[in-house]
A = this chain, B = another copy of it.
Amino acid sequence: MSIRPVTAADHPALWEMLEPVFSAGDTYAIDPAIPRDAALAYWCSGNHRAFIAEGPLFLEKISSGGGAEGAGGQTAPLTLLGSYYICPNQQGGGAHVCNCGFVTAPQARGRGIARAMLNHALDTARAMGFRAMQFNFVVETNTRAIAIWQSHGFAVVGRLPGAFRHPTQGYIDALVMYRNL
């Protein structure tokens, strides 16, 4: 798996990955009906720098054939496994703290991709001169993400009561998470 900056050529595959996450409406505070171009602009444009994680989709192809080559000698096609963006969380006196958003392809879950992207993001943040990373709105039911953030040094520094309307669970809390770099 490699992690590299998003290019325009990635947009179709990136949208294919973002669309089900946004339309589910259970983790991101984004309009579930957000159109493709607006979603890609949100993820990649303005002061956001976006990256993708790509690799062969099936691990066995890596282990059996060496590298990205399958057992039958064919090269496994590279697939978009995940993406993240990084941006300043505030301007002016708050510009030393960054924010990130992460998404993992549904078919690639459980393979440590979110962790790999987070480590990449922490390195990128340090290289960009940020001193801390803040997640503004982690939905409390997103326990998988919360566990990953906590195991990587993030503390819950705030709880927003009822700030998220979950599509099936109603009004639930969102967490603010933070770590120094």
Instruction: Give residues in A with beta carbon < 8 Å to B.
Output: 22, 25-26, 28-32, 34, 89-97, 131-132, 134, 136-137, 139, 157-167, 171, 174, 176, 178, 180
Inter-subunit contact B160/A25 (CB<8 Å)? no
**Residue in B34, B131, B164, B180 whose beta carbon sits within 8 Å of that of A93 in the complex:** B164
Q: Contacts A29-B91, A92-B31 given: A134-B157 contact, CB under 8 Å?
A: no
Q: Which residues of B contact A159 (CB under 8 A)?
A: 157-158
Give Cα distance in the complex from A31 to B95, angstroms: 9
Give Cα distance in the complex from A164 to B90, angstroms: 9
Inter-subunit contact A163/B97 (CB<8 Å)? yes
Q: Contacts A90-B29, A166-B93 given: A161-B137 contact, CB under 8 Å?
A: no
Inter-subunit contact B160/A134 (CB<8 Å)? yes
Interchain nearest-CB distance for A29 vs B (Å) = 3
| Other A-B pairs beyond A29-B95, A94-B165, A136-B136, 12, CB < 8 Å | A25-B92, A29-B91, A29-B92, A29-B93, A30-B92, A31-B92, A32-B92, A34-B92, A96-B165, A97-B163, A131-B171, A158-B158
The 8 A-B residue pairs whose C-beta atoms are closest, nearest first, are A158-B158, A29-B94, A29-B90, A93-B165, A30-B92, A158-B176, A93-B164, A31-B92
Inter-subunit contact B93/A25 (CB<8 Å)? yes
Inter-subunit contact B92/A163 (CB<8 Å)? no
Inter-subunit contact A162/B91 (CB<8 Å)? no
Q: Which residues of B contact A92 (CB under 8 A)?
A: 22, 25, 28-32, 34
Interchain nearest-CB distance for A86 vs B (Å) = 16
Which residue of chain B has its CB nearest to the CB of A27? B93
